Structure 1
């Protein structure tokens, strides 16, 4: 599993069934998340409340995306989203701005990060293609 996580192409080249590994890890992660949810609902709360998890899954995925899956980046992304949540409540109280504006700002940040990653990937592919063409010539 670790080899597939570090370099998918190298794992496939060495004969590891990467699709099977990805599927296995996905099922394991889903199972662990399900067990955590069940233990929280049945053990701690005793029942399922309507606002049991108000968007924490979305925030977690967005934080990982913003942090580019690096530990330091995830910490920075989590602090940013925490500041958005706290600032949204304060903006709603003081400036009568709707709390939904925080979701809009978060969406803009996510779009900007994803767009910058895509543009960087396109630029790197273009640069590598030029280097290969210059080597062939």
Structure 2
């Protein structure tokens, strides 16, 4: 039976603070998931000023082995997370490193790019319920 998972990115006004959680666990290096599961990605501003506009949000994945497919997601690679925030895991098994990058702009300010530190997706690693 497929499960729904959540990957949340938290950021503030500074470029220094980027935190992420997977199903509520913070900065776990490994995101365990099974084929057919879904992951909904979100970005949450936790700063003190007005939330900046997110102009672009992209996810790119890379297999950790040449024998693996290019993307663990049915939607392919790269993925525009603003247009498609919920992704479905395909049938391929293995590990993928991925990056999320997003461009933000405060009112009248410059556009800045943020990068989420190195999470890894491990397909078919969750124990059955």
Same fold (TM over 0.5): no
Q: Which has the higher helix share?
A: 1
Larger radius of gyration: 1
Range into which the TM-score falls when normalised by the shorter chain: under 0.3
Question: Which has the bigger relative contact order, CA under 8 A and spacing at least 6?
Answer: 2
Q: TM-score, normalised by structure 1?
A: 0.20
Q: TM-score, normalised by structure 2?
A: 0.21
Q: Which has the higher strand share?
A: 2
